[in-house]
Structure 1
């Protein structure tokens, strides 16, 4: 059933209930009022007749008085028993037993009997007057009133249905427009915003729908851009690797005429392995980037010191010719331990890659204030030009000086996403010896009893104890994500 019919029938049901209740109350009220009015009139007449029964002249002309009463009240029967009389005069009407022995005052009994309203009144002198008024006229009046009220109720219900249809159609018009817009999006895949009219709940719903369309369009744009950039970046190493592999295959065929030296062959093989490594790194970075765009994991308390020490262990194995200095302190942040570990590892890898042999990478974790940590990673490389410092966090961006180095241009973009997701910030500066200096701030809480750990050219003390479990969890989790 359409919604407009639901609303119309609901309105009609409410009107029907209200009108029915009003009809019943009005019917009962009018019926009781008419009956009470009749009773008062009959009681006044009975009292008047009782007062006259002590008049000897009235009693002597009793039959004439009864005839005169009926002439003025044709719908009423009457029976009178004067004081001291054993019988009654007039119509044959029943006399209640309680009126046959009245000791003082006037006693009245009223009841409905056989379509008549029967009123009997007696006094202490023994006089009794019984009146019986026909109720057919009253019943007709009450029935007519009931029919009129029922007709009014029925008309009110039909009017309510019509008004409900008009109101529902007018109220649901914006929803119908919203439905057509949704159908248009489904049919054409065009994420076009819907025009907002008014400031009611439907307008707010339309604004929310437009915000959803905008977010969907932005997500689609990011996805399209990522696919395009990834395809462009993957094409270069694949093309180079394919060329080298085809050359090696041609040289290894039987009857090949081309001959190259052993040194050239080894150079080709090293190029193929390097291109495979570059391709693997690029795919890993793309997976990390897609993971950052995926739904967020549940946050937990993360020990920053463990993250730094574990990441440093991994970087030191890759660059044994570079010195590392680590100054850290105990403290926790609420976040994703694997994402934070990946971001810190990317920063350390980047610093180690740009540092020359015998260079030094300086890592320092300090307390900015009671709610913020500051992490700095400085290298001894050529640094980043001021005009490139804002763009290094863009996807696939690589400055002119870095295009000859291996890398995908995604590492710092992933780092920025992780840091900002954890409520922090990252910026680029120049280190004391002219290299690059990465400044990261993260919200967190330092532990009581600050301590510092310094490592230079050796493994970090305590890393194999406290950090080994974290490292194993970090590597196991990443292994599952890549499968």
Structure 2
């Protein structure tokens, strides 16, 4: 069974205003029509009764004259337009017109008048509404009837119905428009909060909601800004703490590295087991130094203190420089052209690319190639390795700090390489993700804005990795 999606807030507010306005307009239109119809019918009926009594008096006076026939009397009376006169005397019906006869007089009215009481009723003549008035004439042993077709009243009621229907429809449309306006006003603060939150998440931590004079929103605005202030302060404390710890570790690390270097120069004087221990310490110190460098770089990226001049450069040239600088001159760079240019901090992005290359060598059985593409207003760099690939379930987690994919956690690496890649790319308004290479290995995809279609550097387009690979 297909599940019905609930209405959104704006649609719900608009629908409520529309339905409310339609219901009120319909009730008002029906009530107005009922009152108007009753009033017009009553007025028309009273006018018909007054006219019928006047005409009945003329007919009675005429019938009192000796030697005058009923037809002559009816012919002498001039009723209003649309009215027809009939007289029932004895067993015969007399009419001033051939259009209306005794059959057009309702039986209920004939019975009432025959009992000696004047009466009035509504009927239809040739499909048209009409009012019939009957007046007994006992002085001349006759019954007088006047049937008046009320076409003008029907047209008036039709005009009233049309006007009220148009009023109800216009009111419903007005209610819908009012609902749209009210829904926009209602969700405007939510859009402001969502937009501010998105800018903060995108790399603008100093963004705040503007102050408001609305007393109903002042509390929300103040609470949101206070929350963001507290969050930013906590993040800054963590960043400073990480930077301070990394910096404080520099001195003892430098001392250890110098000491190990001295021991390495007198390596031949040490026993074999001591040499093995020295090699182990040397490798771990090297790993420790790289981890410390990565931590410092991450701290600088998060605190925004790494801002350096960005220059426009060819993406293929940037990849080639990173390959040559890391001793990978035999790895090919395919694609790229004059249009595939990016405006970046060459040192930062070059280091990020080297981290991807190191990741491919350590965990992907070797770097295969780098491909540069121009896709719309973005420049894409594809880094392929020769490994078995990365399971889809782990492609996003590997961009986390110190994450280890699969059973390769024991392989060398600081566990921060891909985190640095993601932070660097994000700082340049780009994205990074991991997918499967056509050759079967892992493919890391870095997308950066083209230099002729740049977004603001601090827009912080989230480097949301849709997958991952093993961390460098």
The TM-score by the shorter chain falls in which range? 0.3 to 0.5
Q: If the length of structure 1 is used for normalisation, what is the TM-score? A: 0.42
Specify the structure having the higher radius of gyration (Cα): 1
